Amino acid sequence: MVREVDVLGVRVEMPTNQPIVLLRERDGGRYLPIWIGAPEAAAITYAQQGVVPPRPLTHDLMRDILAVLGHELTEVRIVALKDSVFHAALIIDGTTEVSSRASDAIALALRTGSKVLVEPSILDEAAIVVSSEEDDEVERFKEFLDHVSAEDFEHPGEPGPTQEP
C-alpha cells in the first residue's frame, strides 16, 4: 500500500551545494531525500512560501492548464527508483497516469494541494530513519527551511547520488 508523505522542504547539501527535497513518511518515522536541480528547488520553495511570480512559472502553467480543461491532479506518486533516479506519476482525475520527474510532480502537487505518495519498496530502499538524537537536526532543518529562499538555489553544485536527469 502506498504511503503518504509530507514535503518538509528543500535544503542545500554541503559541500556540493546540491539541492535536496526532503519527504517525511506521514504515518512513520522515515525520511526520503531526493537530490534535485536548482530550478526545481526554486519551484518547490516558491510553492511552499506562497510566492506568486509576476508571470506563471512552468508548474503554475501546468496547474492552470489542468484547471481550464476541467481536470484535477488527484495525487502524485513516487513510483520507481532506477539507477539512483526517482520516477513519479501524476494521477489526473483519479484514473489517468502521466510519467513525471519526482521534483516536477512534487512542485505541481504543492501548487494543487494534491497528496504525495511513495511506493513502500522505494521507502524500504532509499529512506532513512531518524533516531531521537537526530530529531534536533530535523528541527534545525525545519528552521532552516523557514529562512531559505528560491534565490539560494541559483548556483547549483555537482549532482548528488540520486540526482534527477
SS3 131: coil
- Structural domains of the chain, with CATH: 3-153 (3.10.690.10)
pLDDT tens series, the chain, 165 aa: 999 999 999 998 888 889 999 999 998 889 999 999 999 999 999 999 999 889 999 999 999 999 999 999 999 999 999 999 999 999 999 999 999 999 999 999 999 999 999 999 999 999 998 766 655 666 666 666 666 666 666 554 544 445 555
Is 45 within 8 Å of 9 (Cβ atoms)? yes
What confidence score (pLDDT) does residue 106 get? 98
- Which cell numbers in the block locate residue 21? 527535497
- Which cell numbers in the block locate residue 22? 526532503
- Which cell numbers in the block locate residue 139? 528541527
Residue found by looking up cell 528547488 in the block: 41
